[in-house]
Amino acid sequence: MKKASVLLFSLFIFCFLLIPNALAANVNDVLASPEQGWKRVDLTMATQNISYSGTWRNDTTSPGYTGKHNNNSIHGTAGSTIKFDFTGSKIILRSWLASGKVNVKIDNIDMGTYTANGTAAYGVIYANETLTNTRHSVIVTHVTDTYTDSIDIAESGEILPFEGVEAPLNLSAKPNNNTILLSWGQVENGTYTIKRSTTPGGPYTTITEGINGLTYNDNKIEKGINYYYVVTAKVADKESTNSNEATAVLPVDLGRAILVITLVNGIEKEYDLSMSEVGAFINWYDAKDAGTGPAKYAFQKTWNVGPFKSRVEFVIFSKIVTFEVNEYEQK
């Protein structure tokens, strides 16, 4: 019986050793050389089929650092991205483990943000061996200023030019008269879909799509409600992941007032505004008086519009002598 147990255990070990990649690398392992069944792609600014956006440079300093492969790594500032496609079912990203954070997106799915563990070495910061064996699009973002060393993929795989769609950057939302004005960064050849929720993080409902510009005024909203927005980009038949979330609320009117502005030439300008609009004007004036903000303020005229789609009157800060606020109650 004892011999049978020993034979069975030996057979198990033998079969285990035959399983490819049974001892897969873990996050924070140095992994100085690629494992069996993998190959390593060194990252430099000249690596074929890798696209960079943001601020990058080659780093060949300190070649003796543990885990630094072929003396190379690349340095990217916060917000800089690496984009590429690859074929296969597995990928390992190796970065400087002493500091920094990276975010990984694969096939428009956010795989998460990974933080270095403080080890003074280059090693595995992200690993995934559960992908389907096909072509995948990858976006790696340096969330903080850090270094990336290399990419490991299957021996049979290839690094190919990026064919995915990057999400729009820097989405912002702010009240704009009776609407919420959204603006975002450009994605080359993209059209945009606007999604909205009343809950942080969604779920989001599409409110419009096929937008060609980089701004949108949402006027189907209620005052006093916080709205949360994301934007996606579409190029051909591919859609990006969500942008960053932006939120805004249209203030509930607390009353109305006649704002009278006296200019240096003696002309008086009168505007019938909600108190929230008066507050926005005063905030602009105070900020500009302190040396920040735009030189002019725009009033959206809702009276005497005539045949025009809209009428906007601008008041120049340096031309204002005085202003007064005459509040009244609506009947």
pLDDT tens, position by position, 175-219: 887 899 999 999 988 999 999 999 998 899 999 999 999 999 999
Confidence of residue 253 (pLDDT cuts 50, 70, 90): low
Query: Which pLDDT does position 16 carry in this prediction?
Result: 40
Q: What is the pLDDT of residues 122-146, one digit of tens each?
A: 999 999 999 999 999 999 999 999 9
Residue 143 lies in a domain: yes
64 shares a domain with 153: yes
Range of the domain at 290: 256-328
Q: Tell me which of 134, 160, 186 is where a domain ends.
A: 160
Q: Tell me which of 202, 223, 249 is where a domain ends.
A: 249
Quick check: helix, strand or coil at residue 182? strand
Give the pLDDT mean for 63-69. Answer: 88
Count of domains observed in the chain: 3
Residue 314 lies in a domain: yes
pTM of structure: 0.58
pLDDT at 4 over 60: no
239 shares a domain with 265: no
156 shares a domain with 27: yes
151 shares a domain with 178: no
Q: Rounded CA gap, 52 and 55, in Å?
A: 8
277 shares a domain with 237: no
Q: Rounded CA gap, 274 and 280, in Å?
A: 10
Q: Rounded CA gap, 151 and 49, in Å?
A: 13
198 shares a domain with 316: no
Residue 4 lies in a domain: no
CATH assignment of the domain containing 149: 2.60.120.260
Which amino acid, one-letter code, is at 74?
A: I
Residue 241 lies in a domain: yes
CATH assignment of the domain containing 201: 2.60.40.10
- In this predicted model, which residue has the larger pLDDT, 19 or 32? 32
Listed range (21-35, 103-117, 225-239, 277-291) with the worst mean pLDDT: 21-35
Q: Tell me which of 202, 229, 249 is where a domain ends.
A: 249
Question: What's 317's DSSP letter?
Answer: G
Q: Rounded CA gap, 261 and 325, in Å?
A: 9
